[in-house]
Homo-oligomer: A and B are copies of this chain.
């Protein structure tokens, strides 16, 4: 546990409160969103170096800033360093090949949006200095000095707990243990299930764009070829021309359905996969958080033993106990935030997925319907 004793600046202070027996981060500031948009290729060094820049616009000032993936990466490092007990949402995976392809860039924009949304919704992350700098700084010089300042921030890791104010009353250890047990079982159960559904999402996205599309196009081509073969001799039989048109239109329809399959994942599987990517990343951070907390508890127990053996003063032990309680409070606040937030995200994402699936099958149905028959 950190031991600096300097004064914490007001804007760094965060408060944990207890509302209806639920421990949570105080959230008394205006909530806002930040839109990630218009990824575009930019270049510097007279075109020698090119990169993709994403435009971020926070709702509280409506001023656009331009950030590259590497800036996000830098920010992510700062946040991880600063907050031991807050799982930082993951960034999209680094990827070299195809990084200028429109589809890849568009998808990455959506993934960065998911990251940004997650930060904006967090009562602590959304108002920390480095994040505010990241989404508001438009001046090149100020950006660099802000970066240096963030890199020299001392209120990070163990020290950060000094910035947290908790309820006065000491924590209920039975509830704490129950919560931790429940959380660690939850992580264990969810880990595999989230990974599995995420892999299913990726797999379905690929299959829609590859084999499913091809299957429908194969069907389309088979019908179309029949119509073609039938029309070559154009015999004089009644209704023959209408039939040829119907068969060719059927062919066209299945080719169109193939294209629909190709376009669909962007609307359903991809957003679901992006949500799950964030969920998976956060789940992956939780065991570390729990271990961190466990170590704090162990330290406290060791100190209790020392005090019992009179190798530590009662005063010093009280200090340790208080600091440990801060860690416990922070853990509980974060578990609660995580559970509510993720449940909401999963719910929103599932709703979107199902709505898009309904629309999709409706469109497919409409396409098969318009065939003259």
Q: Judging by beta carbons under 8 Å apart, are B235 and A186 in contact?
A: yes
> Contacting chain B: which of A66-74, A113-121, A140-148, A348-356?
A348-356
How many Å lie between the Cα of A21 and that of B181 in the bound state? 91
Q: Which residues of B contact A182 (CB under 8 A)?
A: 233, 235
Residues of B within 8 A of A369 (CB): 354, 358
Q: B residues within 8 A CB of A237?
A: 336, 339-340, 343
| A230–B225 CA distance with the chains assembled, in angstroms | 50
In the complex the two chains form, is B368's CB within 8 Å of A354's CB?
yes
Q: How many monomers of this chain does the complex have?
A: 2
- Main secondary structure, interface of A, reads helix
A37 at the binding interface (Cβ < 8 Å): no
Q: Say whether A290 faces chain B, with CB atoms less than 8 Å apart.
A: no
Question: Complex: how many Å from CA A311 to CA B238?
Answer: 47
Contact: B215 with A250, CB < 8 Å?
Answer: no
Is A229 among interface residues, defined by CB-CB distance under 8 A?
Answer: yes
The answer to whether A355 and B373 touch across the interface, beta carbons within 8 angstroms, is yes
Beta-carbon contact of B365 and A185 below 8 Å: no
Instruction: Give every chain B residue within 8 A of A196 (Cβ-Cβ).
Output: 222, 225-226
Which among A182, A243, A340, A354 has the greatest number of chain B C-beta atoms within 10 A? A354
- Answer yes or no: A28 CB below 8 A from chain B CBs: no
Within 8 A of B (CB), among A334-373: 336, 339-340, 343, 346-347, 350-351, 354-355, 357-358, 361-362, 364-365, 368-369, 371, 373
* With known contacts A340-B238, A346-B247, A358-B368, A200–B185 Cβ distance under 8 A: no
Q: Is A306 an interface residue (CB 8 A)?
A: no
Given A193-B225, A222-B200, A339-B237, A232 contacting B185 (CB threshold 8 A): yes
How far apart are the CA atoms of A357 and B368 in the complex, in Å? 7
Tell whether A128 is near chain B: CB-to-CB under 8 Å: no
* Interface presence of A223 (CB below 8 A): yes
**Binary per-residue interface labels of chain A (176-200) against chain B in the complex, 1 for a CB within 8 Å, 0 otherwise:** 0000001001100110111011001
Query: Considering only CB atoms, which chain B residue lies closest to A21 in the complex?
Result: B236
For the complex, is A163 an interface residue (Cβ under 8 Å from B)? no
Asked whether B215 lies within 8 Å of A185 as measured between CB atoms, the reply is no
CB-based contact A218/B232 at 8 Å:
no
Q: A204 within 8 Å of B by Cβ?
A: yes
Do A229 and B340 touch across chains, with their CB atoms under 8 A apart?
no
CA of A192 to CA of B232 in the docked complex: distance in angstroms? 13
Which one, B204, B229, B362, contacts A192 given CB within 8 A?
Answer: B229
Closest beta carbon of chain B to A100's beta carbon, Å: 32
Q: In the assembled complex, which residues on chain B have CB atoms less than 8 Å from the CB atom of A246?
A: 347, 350
With A189-B229, A347-B243 given, is the CB distance from A361 to B364 under 8 Å?
yes
Q: Within 8 Å of chain B (Cβ to Cβ): is A47?
A: no
With A204-B219, A237-B343, A243-B346 already in contact, 14 other A-B pairs whose C-beta atoms are closer than 8 Å: A189-B232, A189-B233, A190-B229, A193-B225, A204-B215, A237-B336, A237-B339, A246-B347, A247-B350, A350-B373, A354-B371, A354-B373, A358-B365, A358-B369
Closest 4 CB pairs of A and B: A193-B229, A361-B365, A189-B229, A200-B222
